[in-house]
Amino acid sequence: MKAIKVLLVDPDSQMNQLIKALLENCLDDYAVTTVESGEKALKLFQPKNDYDVVVTALPLNREDDADPMDSRSLLTGIKSIRAVTPVIFFAASPDSDLEETCIEQGFDDFIDKIHTSELAEKVFNSLPRF
């Protein structure tokens, strides 16, 4: 079985490393690439678009000039390149209204950082079955 390629986008580099370790330790067949901005994520995704799933912890809406891309813009960019790639929104805390908004806007799933241990299962369940 080929490795499940995950692109993890979180402006917090420590959280990136924690989630990468969690996913790669859950199953041997996860290969996680981490980036801290939406622009870097799209640059990595565009040439080969061979990531199986994208997990984004960027703010849903642009909050400041630190990163000109928010999760909604990243979702649009990813889906325009390869519509079948699942994009999971990774929120700082549980919020049922935010979860509903994310699903309505086209995210394939939602998880909050309190339930990080369930992320591997969410990633696996988001993958298309052939």
Q: Mind listing the pLDDT tens digit for each residue in 32-64?
A: 999 999 999 999 998 676 899 999 988 877 666
Write down the pLDDT at residue 24: 82
Write down the pLDDT at residue 100: 93
Q: What is the mean pLDDT of residues 74-92?
A: 91
Q: How many domains does the chain have?
A: 1
CB–CB of 98/91 below 8 Å? yes
What's the domain range around 109? 4-126
Write down the pLDDT at residue 66: 59
CATH number of the domain that 20 lies in? 3.40.50.2300
Distance between CA atoms of 10 and 17, rounded to whole angstroms? Answer: 10
Q: Mind listing the pLDDT tens digit for each residue in 87-119?
A: 999 888 888 899 999 999 999 999 988 777 787
A 10 A CB-CB count for 104 gives 8
Of 29, 26, 31, 25, nearest to 6 by C-alpha is 31
Distance between CA atoms of 6 and 121, rounded to whole angstroms? Answer: 13
Q: Is residue 67 scored above 70 in pLDDT?
A: no
